[in-house]
Amino acid sequence: MFEFRVDASAGAARAGALSTPHGEVPTPAFMPVGTAGTVKTLVMEEVAALGARMVLANTYHLYLRPGHELVRDLGGLHAFMRWDGPLLTDSGGFQVFSLAAIRDVHDDGVDFRSHIDGSVHTFTPESVVEIQRALGADVIMAFDECPPGGCDRATAQAAGERTLAWLARCRARFEELGRDGDVPEQSLFPVLQGNVFDDLRVSHARRTRELGDWSGFGIGGLSVGEAKENMWRTLELLDAELPLDRPRYLMGVGYPDDLLEAIARGCDLFDCVAPTRNARHGTAWTSTEGQVNLKAARFRRDAGPIDPDCDCYACGRYDRAYLRHLVVAGEWLAMRLVSIHNLRFLTRLTEEARRRIGDGSFESWRREWLGRYRNEGSTQ
Ligand SMILES: [Zn+2]
């Protein structure tokens, strides 16, 4: 279980498949984010119909509400949210560092205040593993300290050291609970940190590998405000440091152009709230005009679909004029239809990338696709 098979490659890009107890995930793959156990406004049958094979849920949110023990008692997160496919939970680290009011970060863990009611909680490497064992996702993530983008080297180094120390503790607790026999089959992925400092990235990756034979790697600390070229250089460095036969999950990255750039640099799994968050603001992706905001007056009488190349339900059924009206009127249906489109846009992009890696046309297709997406890019 949790084997990763590489079917084809093109430079650093790989077309592969990750096996999990709930099925196989062809890669590259975009994972829709079901923050609180729901991909906002969609039922899971719709998420599956969009071509998504693996879904992500947030430990931080589910721990606070409704509580991981309740989810476990109700049969685990798969059953609770009616998703039979592969599932990943993050460690909650990113949310604690970005959403909650931090009280204290110390070697044992993080004390924080809930963003919901201000109550005080502590996450430790052990508790985060216990919560994710209770939720029961196929892939669970180690607790890491994600320093803010633009931090100095000393801050990045200290966060990296702490992340490595926490990783050893996560693994120990993970294995301890695994011996109980009463837990689902899961895989623990470490999270690689080091910000944009090359030597820290390399040493963090090497020391992480020394700590265990991991079945996959999370790449954290990117897409937190750094310049894009720093992200690409970091991914190229990591491509040389990570084993070829393990999936690499680039955490929090999911804009279409970033996805293609990262696939070209050896990343396999992605997640991002952008498809559904943008949908709530009427922002949609198109293959010929880049990102557009459907509120724009120029769409008032536009009888075309969001994207003529798209095969999603929204594009097959509705025109831009109607969608613009829904967005401007603040109708819930706008959020739903644009979410369907944006999610399909990304899953279709990864499906095509996979096919192109297989038939040898990935690199030329990628350049052509990015040129089209960017040159005629957003005019809002
Ligand atoms: Zn569409």
pLDDT for 379 equals: 47
Confidence at residue 376, expressed as pLDDT on a 0 to 100 scale: 54
Tell me which residue of 347, 374, 369 sits closest to 46, measured CA to CA: 347
Residues 183-205 have pLDDT tens digits of 889 999 999 999 999 999 999 99
CA of 344 to the centre of ligand 1 (A): 6
Average pLDDT, the chain: 96
Distance 275 CA to ligand 1 centre (A): 12
CA separation, residue 250 to residues 6, 29, 232 (Å): 17, 11, 11
Rounded Cα–Cα distance for residues 292 and 121 (Å): 40
Q: Which residues pair with 141 in a beta bridge?
A: 189
Centre of ligand 1 from the C-alpha of residue 295, in Å? 17
Give the active site residues: 90, 271
Beta bridge partners of 104: 111
For strands 29-31 and 23-27, give the pairing: unpaired
Count of helices and strands (H, E) across the chain:
15, 18
Task: Give pLDDT, residue 291.
Answer: 96
Q: How far apart are CA 350 and CA 334, in angstroms?
A: 24
- Integer CA distances (angstroms), 334 to 47, 205, 255, 292, 329, in order: 17, 43, 20, 14, 9
**Separation of CA 102 and ligand 1 centre (Å):** 39
Q: Is 15 helix (H, G, I), strand (E, B) or coil?
A: strand
Which residues are registered as beta bridge partners of 291?
285
C-alpha 329/C-alpha 220 separation (Å) is 38
pLDDT at residue 48 greater than cutoff 90 = yes
How far does the chain reach from its first CA to its final CA, in angstroms? 46
Ligand 1 centroid from CA 64, angstroms? 34
Q: Starting from the edge strand earliest in sequence, which strands make up the sheet with 23-27, in order?
A: 4-10, 13-20, 23-27
What is the predicted pLDDT for the residue at 117? Answer: 93
Query: To the nearest whole percent, how much of the chain has pLDDT over 90?
Result: 91
Does 30 score more than 80 pLDDT? yes
267 φ/ψ angles, rounded to the nearest 5 degrees:
-90, 150
Residue from 152, 248, 243, 264 nearest 200 by CA: 152
Is residue 182 predicted with pLDDT exceeding 90?
no
Full-prediction pTM beyond 0.95?
A: yes
Q: CB of 248 within 8 A of CB of 211?
A: no
Q: Tell me what pLDDT residue 148 has.
A: 86
In the chain, what percentage of residues exceed pLDDT 70?
99
What is the distance in A from the centroid of ligand 1 to the CA of 341? 4
Residue 311 CA, ligand 1 centroid: distance in Å: 6
Q: What is the pLDDT of residues 64-108, one digit of tens each?
A: 999 999 999 999 999 999 999 999 999 998 888 888 787 799 999
C-alpha 343 to ligand 1 mean position (Å): 9
What lies within 8 Å, CB to CB, of 44 at 6+ separation is 55, 81, 82, 83
What pairs with residue 15 in β-bridges?
A: 8
Closest CA to 204 of 142, 124, 123: 142
What is the Cα 294 distance to its own chain's centre?
25
Q: What is the C-alpha to C-alpha distance for residues 325 and 331, in angstroms, rounded to an integer?
A: 9
Number of residues in the chain: 380
- Give the span between the Cα atoms of 219 and 252, in whole angstroms: 9
Spatial separation of the C-alpha atoms in residues 15 and 28, rounded to whole Å = 6
Å from CA of 253 to ligand 1 middle: 20
Each residue's pLDDT tens digit, 240-280: 999 999 999 999 999 999 999 999 999 999 999 999 999 99
